[in-house]
Amino acid sequence: MRCFSLALSLLFAGALPSSAQIDLAVPAAKSAPVSIRIVSEVKAAAPGQVFRVAVRVDHAEHWHTYGKTLSPGIIGKPTKLRWTLPEGWTVEELPWPPTHEVESTDGKKSEGYDGVVYLPAQIKPSGKPGDQAELSVILDALACDPKNCRPVKPDAKLTVALAASAEVDPEVAEIFAAKTSAPSAGQAMKKAPAGTASRSFVANLLLAFIGGLILNIMPCVFPVLGIKVLSVVQQAGGEKKHVLLHGLTYTAGILVCFWLLGSLVVAFGKAWGFQLQSPGFVFALCSFFLIFSLSMAGVFEIGASAVGVGQDLQAREGLGGSFFSGLLAVVVATPCSAPFLGTALGYAVTLPALQALMMFSMIGLGLASPFLVMAVFPVLVSALPRPGAWMESFKQGLSFLLFGTVGFLLWVLTGMVQGQPLLFAILGLVLMAMGCWIYGRWCLPHKALRTRRTALLLALACIAGGLWAGWPVREEKWPEWSPEKVAELRAAGVPVYIDFTAQWCVTCQVNKRVYKDAALKQLITDKKVVLLKADWTNDDPRITQALSDLGKAAVPVNVLYLPGKEEPVVLPELLTVENVTAALNQIPGP
């Protein structure tokens, strides 16, 4: 219902600690349901000698995550650790602590982790004494409280020094002796029941239908719902057979999509809504809604009627458009878990395949039922207002629901990609919007054929270019800069490259393209350069002072500290692969 409130508002409103610096008692941040850090059993590691680390996971009060695997009947997402290690280093996960009983979002009991838990692994380092390396890890998990769930991907980093022999850290010895979770007060370390609550199959079918019906009032479905209402209004006064075919075809689209997604959930044990955990899918869906919201707002028109998503797929008097609307309704409905739906989905995955698909079919019928009723009883359609000039204003008003969905999906995308990839995703959407404007401005019937063809090619090029430029990619994160870290690395004789940057600095963003060059990446690895990011997006007196010491008062500033030299190499403001390569080649060989 939080999603519902958000949609109504839109409508009516028109960091890098070493193992010795870890405070084991610090709880999860209040603003985030889960936070993590890396704990190492050694203060210094020996090359080639395996040592243990643990990812400490702090859950905010009432929040929980799931284990590495899910027991039958448990709805959730398996938790994964994604490590990034220096070249030559390896990691192997050790057995995780057992999960225990937690409260799920449907009021039942589930199993997972809450409070504080340590997820152990062992690492084999590579290098020579005196080297320093950075380990980083991302916790890919689904965090849930009694009301809702959301994907989380907190990250943590740890700098490890190499020495001739390993130095054990006695402060964390207890952690690695126990290798277990610290449950919140009152929790038992016992397993949740493998099955769900004992309800009859018929009762769960009814819950599935009710859950699907309630999905119609969820904001995830509202945009498609509005489009379909407009389509039904247009059919008012039409033949009963025509109206019935549209209702049945819309229902078929919903059922087919539920069967496809349900089959994947059952066959592969995926969590419901798994497709919306893919940055590429979310960006594609965001692009789709942007294009059709612009169409409904009047920027351009698709086909003669210019209404409804999928009208370019019309066949047999628009039946293709109704089928496509049904498919789309399911795709966008999956982020919203209506009341009763969580229980129905949890029960479905414990059933044999045929019965599970019956459960998904009932959810689909619940979602389709309002339009199916109007199709079976055409008198309800006839009672709707007759088509007229008011429909254009109604259509444009509905476009704001779609724009709101674009905003919501962009917010979802920010939880998956950050930094420059997110910027390019937004700019890609702008480029696609320009393509729609070109199409609507010059690809008109009264324009010359050459003009229409040119406009069409330019519009398609903008849309394709926007998809290509904005498609989300994972950006390599640089460790955070600090004067103390620079001093520590320089004292160890390590070359240090610092990027003084800010999100509001356009030149800074342009400069980052050079770091994607494969040859430059390899050179950085070969020279064992430590990359640090000094982010001046928000005021930071330390960065201001560092820039002043370099004789600079603005960003971008990129500097390279060479081993044994006091003064850094200051690179030009506009970076190229060539000038960065030339600076790095000044680092003396091993």
pLDDT tens figures, 174-194:
777 654 444 433 343 733 333
The answer to whether residues 118 and 179 touch, using CB atoms and an 8 Å cutoff, is: yes
Mean pLDDT across the chain, nearest whole number?
78
* Whole-number Å distance between alpha carbons of 442 and 459: 10
Domain that holds residue 451: 417-474
Question: Which tops the pLDDT comparison, 252 or 352?
Answer: 252
Residue 414: the pLDDT is 83
Tell which of 456, 474, 492 closes a domain.
474
Average confidence (pLDDT) over 19-42: 63
Question: Would residue 80 count as lying in a domain?
Answer: yes
Question: Which tops the pLDDT comparison, 437 or 260?
Answer: 437
Alpha-helix residue ranges (DSSP H) falling in 125-271: 173-178, 201-214, 222-235, 240-268
The answer to whether residues 528 and 495 touch, using CB atoms and an 8 Å cutoff, is: yes
| CATH number of 25's domain | 2.60.40.10
Instruction: Mark whether 206 and 354 lie in a shared domain.
Output: yes
Q: In what order do the strands lie in the sheet with 116-124?
A: 34-40, 51-59, 116-124, 90-93
- Both tokens of 25, joined, read 């008692």
Residue 463: the pLDDT is 93
Q: Which of 502, 213, 490 is nearest to 370 (CA)?
A: 213
Per residue, the 3-state secondary structure of 319-339, as one string, reads HHHHHHHHHHHHHHHCCCCCC
Instruction: Mark whether 20 and 162 lie in a shared domain.
Output: yes
Instruction: Mark whether 227 and 325 lie in a shared domain.
Output: yes
Give the pLDDT band (50/70/90) at residue 210.
Answer: confident
Residue 345: the pLDDT is 65
Instruction: Mark whether 466 and 492 lie in a shared domain.
Output: no
Give the pLDDT band (50/70/90) at residue 488.
Answer: very high
Instruction: Mark whether 76 and 210 lie in a shared domain.
Output: no
Question: Would residue 6 count as lying in a domain?
Answer: no
44 sits in the region (left: phi over 0; alpha: psi -120 to 50; else beta) called beta
Question: Would residue 195 count as lying in a domain?
Answer: no
Give the pLDDT band (50/70/90) at residue 572.
Answer: very high
165 in helix, strand or coil? coil
Apex 413 CA angle, 255 and 521, nearest 5:
125
For residue 396, give the amino acid letter. Answer: Q
Instruction: Mark whether 361 and 254 lie in a shared domain.
Output: yes
Give the pLDDT band (50/70/90) at residue 411.
Answer: confident
Tell which of 429, 454, 474 closes a domain.
474
> Highest mean pLDDT: which of 326-335, 392-401, 529-538?
529-538
- Both tokens of 268, joined, read 């592969």
Residue 182: the pLDDT is 40
Which residues neighbour 390 within 8 Å (Cβ) at sequence distance 6 or greater? none
Average confidence (pLDDT) over 483-487: 93
Instruction: Mark whether 117 and 208 lie in a shared domain.
Output: no
Sign of CA dihedral 446, 448, 452, 458: negative
Give the pLDDT band (50/70/90) at residue 377.
Answer: confident
4 pLDDT more than 60: no
Per-position b or e across 480-507, b if 16+ CB within 10 A of its CB:
ebbeebbebbbeeebbbbbbbbbeebee
Average confidence (pLDDT) over 264-291: 75
Instruction: Mark whether 52 and 173 lie in a shared domain.
Output: yes
Residue 234: the pLDDT is 62
The answer to whether residues 112 and 65 touch, using CB atoms and an 8 Å cutoff, is: yes
For residue 303, give the amino acid letter. Answer: G
* Whole-number Å distance between alpha carbons of 541 and 536: 9
The model scores a pTM over 0.85: no
Q: How many CB atoms lie within 10 A of CB 182?
A: 16
For residue 306, give the amino acid letter. Answer: A
Question: Would residue 271 count as lying in a domain?
Answer: yes
| CATH number of 537's domain | 3.40.30.10
* Digit-coded pLDDT (tens) for 413-466: 887 787 788 888 999 999 999 999 999 999 888 889 999 999 999 999 999 999
Residue 278: the pLDDT is 79
Instruction: Mark whether 388 and 426 lie in a shared domain.
Output: no
262 pLDDT more than 80: no
Instruction: Mark whether 317 and 363 lie in a shared domain.
Output: yes
369, burial (CB in 10 Å: exposed 0-12, middle 13-18, buried 19+) = middle
Question: Would residue 552 count as lying in a domain?
Answer: yes
Q: How many CB atoms lie within 10 A of CB 475?
A: 16
Give the pLDDT band (50/70/90) at residue 306.
Answer: very low
Residue 467: the pLDDT is 92
Bond from prior residue into 556 cis (ω within 30 degrees of 0): yes
If residue 101 lies in a helix (H) or strand (E), which one and from where to where?
A: strand 100-103
Question: Would residue 304 count as lying in a domain?
Answer: yes
Instruction: Mark whether 468 and 516 lie in a shared domain.
Output: no
Number of domains comprising the chain: 4
Question: Would residue 468 count as lying in a domain?
Answer: yes
- CA dist 321 → 130, 250, 294 (Å): 66, 8, 18
Question: Would residue 112 count as lying in a domain?
Answer: yes
Instruction: Mark whether 437 and 460 lie in a shared domain.
Output: yes
Q: In this structure, are strands 155-162 and 42-45 parallel, antiparallel, or unpaired?
A: parallel
Least trusted range by pLDDT, from 133-137, 380-384, 481-485: 380-384
